[in-house]
Amino acid sequence: MFNNLSEKLDKALHVLKGHGSINEVNVAETIKEIRRALLDADVNFKIAKEFTNKVKEKALGQNVLSSLKPGQLMVKIVKDELTELMGGEAAGINLSANPSIILMSGLQGSGKTTFSGKLANYLKNKKTKKPLLVACDVYRPAAIDQLHVVGEQIGVEVFSDRDNNDPVAIAQAGIAHAKANGHNVVIIDTAGRLAVDEAMMTEISNIHNAIAPQETLFVVDSMTGQDAVNTAKAFNDVLNFDGVILTKLDGDTRGGAAISIKSVVNKPIKFIGTGEKMDAIDVFHPARMADRILGMGDVVSLVERAQEQFDEEEARKLQKKIAKNQFGFDDFLKQIQQVKNMGSMKDLVGMIPGAGKAMKGMDIDDDAFKHVEAIIHSMTPDERTKPSTINVSRKKRIAKGSGTSIQQVNQLLKQFDQMSKMMKMMQGGGGKRMMQMMKN
């Protein structure tokens, strides 16, 4: 995410390293580099200029009062200003009505249908919400099918009417269906066109007027940079929407849309899409995004993702197993699955402060666990609970079955053994022993 921008900003901020203080000259040089980095990331020219002017003003004004080094001070100022530019605080969605109606808008291909599914799934997982998805794209039967596929995948009902070609009527029928069947959230997926045109605007505006949604969300592909901002403006002029959804932030996005959109339409970015899967959705937090842009990682989001995956009851059971020396390969497999559920490896590594920079150019493999999983799957249930029984002939069989080598099997067994010992030590108040071991 935003690798290029992060790198260039890092370089710009490096200008001040080694300088004892901030002055007109070194600030001017830094500012020039920051502005160039923003323009390269496809940030709107006016916004880039305003942004750097503010940063400059703050930097020259605060220097005397600060005990921070010039480099650190500048990073802080840039971070605060970026956060502000992207909206300051995270903005929630309004779900107070029953049912709460959420209208999705945006161009075709922006990720509306995918995001409708993600949002339904996100709300469904909150337990108190029972969403209904409504398919209002009357032009593309494939779009209706797509929403049904998504609905099935996440276990959320989808309302559609293939015989009706009036999207307003379908939306209204969908809401009536929701009321009659106890759905407290209705997510309405609408048709998009490849570019902004009048017919599309009239149609979405008619739906909007007829159903008076609590939330009108505008979905936009972040890869489209400045175009994203222009489209947002066109939709906002007609719909006066409540929030923006930025999709495809997992791709090689330059960052311009994320940085510019809020100040152009004065509407917050509410969620981001970070992949094609149904769980690739995150609440947009401006401060955390600023951290990521500045290569400072996003530990808070990382911890939150971990918390979503690991449940306390399971953790307690695991602890008991470890204490009794019963932690086996099946448990290990479960742990791997949980880590995988947290997101793509690239994405996770990007959340660790400094890791993005340190691991630059390295190929981060999302299939990192593939061999490990294959080896475990080739073990019998007994072997998984008692790895000590795995002798040479068994190793041969496992390697063959998993398409790996005996060395790889040996390596996994060794790692597993070390890990089990370590976990046992951590358990039995062995922190001290462990420290001792690490010192030796």
Q: Give the nearest residue (CB) to ligand GDP.
A: 273
Q: How far is the CB of 218 from ligand GDP (least distance, A)?
A: 11
Query: Would you give the binding string for ligand GDP spanning residues 103-132, x where CB under 6 A is met?
Result: ---x-xxxxxxx------------------
* Residue 274 binds ligand GDP, judged by CB under 6 A: yes
Enter the tokens of residue 411: 């390596």
Structure-block tokens of residue 274 = 């970070």
**Nearest-approach distance from CB 203 to ligand GDP, in angstroms:** 15
63-92 positions binding ligand GDP, by CB under 6 A: none
Scanning 166-174, 253-261, 275-283, 290-298 for contacts with ligand GDP by CB under 6 A, the matching segment is 275-283
Residues 189-218 that bind ligand GDP (CB under 6 A): 192
109 vs 141, beta carbon nearer ligand GDP? 109
Q: Is 243 in the site for ligand GDP (CB under 6 A)?
A: no
How far apart are the C-alpha atoms of 152 and 161, rounded to whole Å?
17
Q: Are 59 and 100 in contact (CB under 8 A)?
A: no
CB of 110 to ligand GDP, least distance (A): 4
| Residue 318 exposed, middle or buried by CB count within 10 Å (0-12, 13-18, 19+) | middle
Would you call 234 helix, strand, or coil by DSSP?
A: helix
Rg value, the chain, Cα:
26
Select from 275, 286, 295, 350 the one that contacts ligand GDP (CB under 6 A): 275
SS3 242: coil
Stretch that binds ligand GDP, among 65-73, 269-277, 354-362, 429-437 (CB under 6 A): 269-277
Q: Is 145 in the site for ligand GDP (CB under 6 A)?
A: no
Q: Compute CA 290 distance to the chain's CA centroid, rounded to the nearest angstrom.
A: 14
Name the one range near ligand GDP by CB under 6 A: 22-30, 53-61, 267-275, 421-429.
267-275
Nearer to ligand GDP, 112 or 395 (CB): 112
8 Å CB contact between 338 and 392: no
Tell me whether residue 109 or residue 182 sits nearer to ligand GDP (CB atom): 109
Report, in Å, the least distance between residue 222 CB and ligand GDP. Answer: 8
Closer Cβ to ligand GDP, 52 or 116, answer by number: 116
C-alpha 220/C-alpha 229 separation (Å) is 9
What is the pairing mode between strands 185-189 and 131-135? parallel
Residue 439 to residues 179, 194, 421, 435, Cα–Cα distance (Å)? 65, 62, 17, 6
**CB nearer to ligand GDP: pick between 70 and 275:** 275
Which is nearer to ligand GDP, 9 or 281 (by Cβ)?
281
Q: CB of residue 146 vs ligand GDP: minimum separation in angstroms?
A: 6
The structure tokens listed for 199 are: 């017919």
Q: How far is the CB of 20 from ligand GDP (least distance, A)?
A: 45
Alpha helical stretches, state H, 125-255: 141-154, 167-180, 198-211, 225-239
Q: How far is the CB of 429 from ligand GDP (least distance, A)?
A: 45
Binding residue positions for GTP: 106-113, 189-193, 247-250
- With both helix axes pointing from N to C terminus, report the angle between 329-341 and 406-427 in degrees, rounded to the nearest 10: 90
The residue (of 351 and 372) whose beta carbon lies closer to ligand GDP is 351
CA distance 201 to 192: 9
Say which residues have a Cβ less than 8 Å from residue 257's Cβ, sequence separation at least 6: 42, 220, 222, 224, 225, 226, 228, 229, 246
- Residue from 280, 294, 372, 390 in contact with ligand GDP (CB under 6 A): 280
Interface ranges with ligand GDP (CB under 6 A) = 106, 108-114, 192, 247-248, 250-251, 273-276, 280
